[in-house]
């Protein structure tokens, strides 16, 4: 802790006790002890190189798949959105995307260039870094299908480049070298047609707004779909639509969404996740596994 206090200040903004509720799409979560918004890759790399080895670090994009508990996060949160935000065409079919670029921006950029294969990213409200960590996907597309290589930083701030083959990728799951985080990816797309890609994006966004509770604070699908079935179907047929704990409710529009109706705590959401898990297991004999990442300390431990 004292060693952290003596660090050379980064060029970016380092805030103390930053409420994570401001940085998660559920709008809940206690404070991060330290919260760094680096100005660029060099700034982040220099900061990590100096950070004592024992200091926990948590990387956050747009917080759209995160439940941060009410007691907050002991350690340093590194936020990439709004900072690592370069996006460039490398050649005919390749683009380089930094980790903080919003997925929607990647989809639009590729479409404008007349490249196809990234349209599915349009409705995913996270960053490229989060999409790489989660193998985010929608409507048949998945992030790692278009990844050729990634750039990472390790805990000592070293910048590395790795081929996609260094990672084991599955449904919403990515395993790779431990102690490294994504700072950029090179995507390989197919030559396509700008107008058709733009039209496809429009129709995917419409399908989303027809089926999902847009405009309400959520983290998207809470549970992974079990093999051969859908979490939403299992939750709905267990009679859980509309069930609430405090300010957290199972959405009436999409049963695999839990929405914060305004006053939820992280504890409300986590309790509702537990209630849904138990009820579905009792009704169907299937134990759902959360897709959302749950981090931080319960309020009483803070």
Under the criterion CB under 6 A, does residue 66 sit at the interface with ligand FAD? Answer: yes
Give the number of C-alpha atoms closer than 13 A to the C-alpha of residue 124, restricted to the C-beta side: 27
Under the criterion CB under 6 A, does residue 136 sit at the interface with ligand FAD? Answer: yes
| The binder of ligand FAD chosen from 63, 71, 72, 192 (CB under 6 A) | 63
Q: How far is the CB of 191 from ligand FAD (least distance, A)?
A: 25
Can 50 be counted among the known catalytic residues? no
Three-state secondary structure readout of the chain: CHHHHCCCCCCCEEEEEEEHHHHCCCCCCCEEEEEEECCCHHHHHHHHHHCCCCCCEEEECCCCCEEECCCCEEEEEEECCCCCCCEEECCCCEEEEECCCEHHHHHHHHHHCCEECCHHHHHCCCEHHHHHHHCCEECCEEHHHCEEEEEEEECCCCEEEEEHHHCEEECCEEECCCCEEEEEEEEECEECCHHHHHHHHHHHHHHHHHHCCCCCECCCCCECCCCCCCHHHHHHHCCCCCCEECCEEECCCCCCCEEECCCCCHHHHHHHHHHHHHHHHHHHCCCCCECCEEECCCHHHC
Nearer to ligand FAD, 195 or 206 (CB): 206
Among the residue ranges 4-12, 13-21, 60-68, 265-273, the one whose residues contact ligand FAD (CB under 6 A): 60-68
Query: Residues 221, 238, 251, 265: which is the catalytic one?
Result: 221
User: Which tokens go with 117?
Assistant: 């294969």
Under the criterion CB under 6 A, does residue 62 sit at the interface with ligand FAD? Answer: yes
Q: Which residues ranging from 270 to 299 are in contact with ligand FAD (CB under 6 A)? A: 293
Q: How far is the CB of 266 from ligand FAD (least distance, A)?
A: 14
Under the criterion CB under 6 A, does residue 97 sit at the interface with ligand FAD? Answer: no
Residue 151 and residue 185 in contact, taking contact as beta carbons nearer than 8 Å: yes
Among the residue ranges 48-56, 62-70, 226-234, 267-275, the one whose residues contact ligand FAD (CB under 6 A): 62-70
Among the residue ranges 128-136, 155-163, 226-234, 279-287, the one whose residues contact ligand FAD (CB under 6 A): 128-136
Q: How far is the CB of 278 from ligand FAD (least distance, A)?
A: 23
Can 287 be counted among the known catalytic residues? no
Residues 213-252: x where in contact with ligand FAD by CB under 6 A, - otherwise, as a string: -----xxx--------------------------------
Under the criterion CB under 6 A, does residue 65 sit at the interface with ligand FAD? Answer: yes
Query: Residues 18, 172, 218, 251: which is the catalytic one?
Result: 172
Burial zone of 175 (CB within 10 Å; 0-12 exposed, 13-18 middle, 19+ buried): exposed
Under the criterion CB under 6 A, does residue 133 sit at the interface with ligand FAD? Answer: yes
Q: How far is the CB of 155 from ligand FAD (least distance, A)?
A: 12
Can 221 be counted among the known catalytic residues? yes
| The binder of ligand FAD chosen from 76, 80, 197, 251 (CB under 6 A) | 80
What is the C-alpha to C-alpha distance for residues 190 and 8, in angstroms, rounded to an integer? Answer: 45
User: Which tokens go with 51?
Assistant: 């950070």
Residues lying near ligand FAD in the complex (CB under 6 A): 25, 58-66, 80, 99, 123-127, 129-131, 133-134, 136-138, 181-182, 212, 218-220, 293
Catalytic residues: 172, 221, 291
């Amino acid at each position: 802790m004292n060693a952290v206090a003596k660090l050379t200040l980064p060029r970016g903004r380092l805030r103390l006790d930053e409420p994570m509720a401001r940085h998660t799409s559920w709008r809940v979560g206690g404070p991060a002890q330290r919260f760094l918004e680096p100005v660029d890759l060099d700034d982040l790399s220099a900061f990590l190189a100096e950070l004592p080895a024992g200091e926990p670090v948590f990387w956050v994009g747009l917080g759209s798949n995160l439940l941060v508990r009410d007691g907050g996060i002991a350690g340093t949160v590194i936020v990439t959105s709004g900072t690592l935000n370069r996006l460039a065409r490398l050649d005919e079919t390749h683009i380089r995307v930094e980790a903080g670029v919003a997925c929607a921006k990647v989809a639009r950029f590729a479409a404008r260039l007349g490249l196809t294969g990234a349209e599915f990213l349009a409705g995913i409200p996270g960053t490229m870094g989060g999409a790489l960590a989660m193998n985010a996907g929608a409507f048949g597309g998945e992030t790692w299908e278009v990844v050729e290589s990634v750039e990472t930083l390790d805990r000592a701030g070293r910048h590395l480049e790795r081929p996609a083959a260094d990672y084991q990728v599955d449904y919403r799951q990515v395993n790779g070298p431990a102690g490294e985080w994504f700072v950029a990816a090179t995507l390989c797309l197919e030559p396509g047609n700008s107008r058709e890609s733009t039209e496809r994006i429009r129709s995917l966004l419409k399908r989303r707004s027809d089926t999902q509770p847009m405009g309400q604070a959520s983290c998207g699908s809470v549970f992974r779909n079990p093999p051969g079935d859908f979490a939403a179907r299992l939750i709905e047929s267990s009679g859980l639509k509309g069930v609430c704990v405090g300010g957290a409710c199972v959405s009436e529009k999409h049963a695999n969404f839990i929405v914060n109706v305004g006053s939820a705590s992280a504890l409300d959401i986590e309790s509702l996740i537990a209630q849904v898990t138990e009820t579905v297991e009792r009704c169907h004999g299937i134990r759902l596994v959360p897709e959302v990442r749950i981090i931080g300390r319960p309020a009483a431990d803070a």
